[in-house]
Structure 1
């Protein structure tokens, strides 16, 4: 029998503390967005032709831009993701993504800006995302504290929501599509972008409950009817429904999206 090591647990704890302090020093020196390489719980990922940006990270980058556009009244569109830092402790499925991206506002011609955004996953297998930060690089604004997200959603209304609430026009389809793609992609991470793109995910109707505040309300609930052609290929139901809630947490400045895919009832097909 091999000899028992004395103090092994203490040695491992000390080693973990040393790595943690080294990580904190790197963050303090460079800032989390500009860390080079990888360290404990933080990994730098450069996006290029050799290592394309993952589909989910592209969606998170678009969510960060969406938050910025809502608050600033702009219409920036994602050009590309330069890199992202993934903060995820060992053995944990969900993480936080610190994304550096290029975006353009068509209203400003060819003007391009570099953005930094942070998007955190608050659950696995479901759309519960928190965007704490979305800024043009060089801006030193940060989040203002910890936000607790209520992951519950209202039941599907007994009264037809597409008659009860305002309908969203097709011209506003871009960010509604983002919500739906996020809802599908976070539920099933094995699906590729082509499996939840416009050719396979068809939005039929969208109703918006914003308590009368209008289309740009920061706090609103959306009821969506859509067709999932990808799922229908395997014999599953084509017509589907989803609920998505967006909210700006004024105390911290964080922006959250909470959503759920709803199992349809046969009578709902008449909506």
Structure 2
């Protein structure tokens, strides 16, 4: 029997430098076939013990990437982090967790809220970063707790916006073990299923003339509308994060954000109540806000354009973000 040397880093430890030998296009990840290295091609950098590689892919397949030990692979692979304190977690991982819960709530009609984060795994796929997060949530309708999993991918250089984040899985926790079906097809985004009206470059900030000419497409939310929908604040937080992600946990110092105005553009539910308009699968949110102080050191206000799209697959939501800053009066 082969012995596996498996190390689990704790948050706060610096991970070793990981070489990335290959890049995978797109945001969907599927298990690659095990690569058997021939004896005459071995070298110190590329060689992987076939038994170790087989064990790695077994864990990936049987947990969908959420429960994977640390393996020293040439391309890095999935890398695990476990929190010493599940209530003390990085700001960005909390944002991604809230997005996964938001997707689930929209699709299931629930109201799950983030309580704690047990662990997360990360993986670099070319220019994309993918996170497999295991968390605890509370159903506010009955105060019951549940375990939840979400797989989130972020891209800082997307084609049509300044920043993009999307979920590939958003679900109640599934126990690890042999799978009867391969999860890959469920994770892949179906771009063809997204309404063409919500593709291409993000629009510019609205002008008064546009609001007047296309009045039927726009709805300005009242303060009472956004107070009951915490996820609107999350959209603004993603906009701030897209500009100042290098600040990491320090972004918490500038919360809560002060919302100034929110306008929703959608072709769905246009004659419905604000409650139904906010449930549209595809919509563009024009959000002006300011922080509690500002990372730049100068009082600033922001105009964020956030396009939300869904492809009809369970657990899928995508946010594309542009964010402009200007000095506050």
| Short-chain TM bin | 0.7 to 0.9
**Of 126, 129, 133, the match for 1:95:** 129
**Of 139, 142, 153, the match for 1:105:** 139
1:254 lines up with 2:287 in the alignment: no
C-alpha RMSD over aligned residues: 3.4
Runs (5+) with no aligned partner, structure 2: 1-37, 192-198, 270-276
The aligned counterpart of 2:204 is 155
C-alpha distance in 2 between matches for 1:245 and 1:9: 52
Alignment deviations for residues 185-242 of structure 1 (CA, whole Å, 9 cap, x no partner): 13322332323411xx211110111224212111110001112343386235x23211
The aligned counterpart of 1:11 is 42
C-alpha displacement at 1:111, in angstroms?
A: 0.8
C-alpha displacement at 1:76, in angstroms?
A: 0.5
What pairs up with 1:182-201 in 2 under 5 angstroms? 182-191=238-247, 192-198=250-256, 201=257
Q: Which moved more, 1:110-119 or 1:226-235?
A: 226-235
Normalising by structure 1, report the TM-score: 0.79
**Secondary structure, aligned partner of 1:95:** strand
1:227 lines up with 2:283 in the alignment: no
**Of 63, 83, 89, the match for 1:47:** 83
- Quick one: structure 1 residues 101 and 251, their matched pair in 2 at CA, closer, same or farther if it must change by over 3 Å? closer
1:176 lines up with 2:223 in the alignment: no
C-alpha distance in 2 between matches for 1:251 and 1:193: 32
Runs (5+) with no aligned partner, structure 1: 1-6
The aligned counterpart of 2:307 is 245
C-alpha distance in 1 between matches for 2:147 and 2:264: 32
Q: 1:146–1:252: 8 Å Cα contact kept in structure 2?
A: no
C-alpha distance in 2 between matches for 1:104 and 1:162: 39
C-alpha distance in 2 between matches for 1:9 and 1:204: 65
Normalising by structure 2, report the TM-score: 0.67
Q: Which moved more, 1:144-153 or 1:68-77?
A: 144-153
Q: 2:86–2:116: 8 Å Cα contact kept in structure 1?
A: no
**Of 101, 106, 127, the match for 1:70:** 106
- Quick one: structure 1 residues 158 and 50, their matched pair in 2 at CA, closer, same or farther if it must change by over 3 Å? closer
**Of 156, 159, 166, the match for 2:219:** 166
- Quick one: structure 1 residues 170 and 253, their matched pair in 2 at CA, closer, same or farther if it must change by over 3 Å? closer
Alignment deviations for residues 67-107 of structure 1 (CA, whole Å, 9 cap, x no partner): 00000011110001111111126xx6641111111101111
